Structure 1
Amino acid sequence: MKYAVYLVVFLWMGLVQAADPLPSWNEGNIKKEIISFVNDVTKENGSRFVKPEDRIATFDNDGTLWSEVPTIELEFTKFRMKEILAANPALKKQEPYKSLLAKAAGADVKLTQKQILDIVAKTHSGMSEEEFGKQVREFFKEARHPKLHVPYTQAVYQPMLELLAYLRENNFQIFISSGGEIAFMRQVVPEIYGIPTQNIIGSFFVDKTEEKNGRLQVMRTAQLGLLNDKGGKPVGIVRHIGKRPIISVGNERNGGDIEHLRFSSESSLPNFQIMVNHDDAEREAAYSEKDNASLNAAKKFGFKVLSMKNDWKQIFPVADKIAQQKQNDHK
Structure 2
Amino acid sequence: MRRSVRAFDACLACLAIAVILLITATCSPVSAQDVLPSWNDTSAKTRITDFVRATTTEGGEAYVAPENRIAVFDNDGTLWSEQPYYIQLGFVLDRVKALAPQHPEWKTKEPFKSVLDGDLKGIAKAGERGMVELMMATHAGMTSDEFTKIATDWFATSKHPRTGKLFTEMTYLPMRELLDYLRANGFRTYIVSGGGIEFMRPVTQQLYGIPPEQVVGSTIATEYELVGDVPVLKRLPKIDFVDDGPGKPVGINKFIGLKPIFAAGNSDGDYEMLRWTTSGKGSSFGLLVHHTDAAREYAYDRESAFGKLDKALDEAEGRNWLVVDMKKDWKKIFAFEQ
Q: Cα deviation per residue 1:132-169 (whole Å; 9 max; x = unaligned)?
A: 00110111121012222221111111111110111011
Q: Given the alignment, which residue of 87, 104, 119 partners 1:72? A: 87
Q: How does 1:90-101 map to 2 (within 5 A)?
A: 90-101=105-116
Residues 1:262 and 2:280 are matched in the alignment: no
Q: Given the alignment, which residue of 292, 297, 300 partners 2:318? A: 300
Q: Given the alignment, which residue of 139, 155, 179 partners 2:170? A: 155
Amino acid of the structure 1 residue aligned with 2:185: N
Match of 1:17, SS? coil
Q: How does 1:242-261 map to 2 (within 5 A)?
A: 242-252=257-267, 255-261=268-274
Aligned to 1:313: 331
Larger of the two Rg values belongs to structure:
2
Q: How does 1:164-313 map to 2 (within 5 A)?
A: 164-252=179-267, 255-290=268-303, 292-313=310-331
Q: What TM-score, normalized to structure 2?
A: 0.88
Distance 1:272 1:126, change over 3 A: same
Distance 1:15 1:24, change over 3 A: farther
Q: Cα deviation per residue 1:28-61 (whole Å; 9 max; x = unaligned)?
A: 1111011011011111111111011100000000
Shift of 1:297: 2.6
> Which runs of 5 or more structure 2 residues have no equivalent in the other structure?
1-12, 304-308
- Is the deviation greater in 176-185 or in 11-20? 11-20
Q: Cα deviation per residue 1:189-213 (whole Å; 9 max; x = unaligned)?
A: 1111111111000000010111113
Shift of 1:103: 6.5
- Is the deviation greater in 18-27 or in 242-251? 18-27
Q: Cα deviation per residue 1:250-290 (whole Å; 9 max; x = unaligned)?
A: 003xx111111111111432000101100100001111113
Q: Cα RMSD over matched residues? A: 2.0
Q: What TM-score, normalized to structure 1?
A: 0.90
Partner Cα distance (1:87, 1:216) in 2: 27
Amino acid of the structure 2 residue aligned with 1:48: A
Shift of 1:17: 2.9
Aligned to 1:326: none
Match of 1:275, SS? strand
Residues 1:26 and 2:45 are matched in the alignment: no
Amino acid of the structure 2 residue aligned with 1:152: F
Q: Cα deviation per residue 1:95-140 (whole Å; 9 max; x = unaligned)?
A: 4323544661766961211111221122111100001001101111
Partner Cα distance (2:123, 2:151) in 1: 30
- Is the deviation greater in 191-200 or in 137-146? 137-146
Amino acid of the structure 1 residue aligned with 2:92: T
Amino acid of the structure 1 residue aligned with 2:242: L
> Which runs of 5 or more structure 1 residues have no equivalent in the other structure?
321-331
Amino acid of the structure 1 residue aligned with 2:82: E
Amino acid of the structure 2 residue aligned with 1:42: T
- Is the deviation greater in 81-90 or in 20-29? 81-90
Aligned to 2:7: none
- Is the deviation greater in 178-187 or in 95-104? 95-104
Partner Cα distance (1:195, 1:106) in 2: 35
Shift of 1:307: 0.4
Match of 1:274, SS? strand
Shift of 1:301: 2.2
Residues 1:135 and 2:150 are matched in the alignment: yes
Partner Cα distance (1:109, 1:22) in 2: 38
Partner Cα distance (1:278, 1:233) in 2: 22
Distance 1:105 1:75, change over 3 A: closer
Distance 1:99 1:278, change over 3 A: same
Asked if the contact 2:287–2:324 (Cα under 8 Å) also holds between the matched residues in 1, the reply is yes
Aligned to 2:30: 17
Amino acid of the structure 2 residue aligned with 1:305: V
User: How many equivalent residue pairs?
Assistant: 318
Amino acid of the structure 1 residue aligned with 2:291: H
Match of 1:257, SS? helix
Distance 1:105 1:30, change over 3 A: closer
Asked if the contact 2:111–2:122 (Cα under 8 Å) also holds between the matched residues in 1, the reply is no
Partner Cα distance (1:57, 1:244) in 2: 9
Shift of 1:244: 1.3
- Give % identity: 37
Aligned to 2:10: none
- Is the deviation greater in 260-269 or in 210-219? 260-269
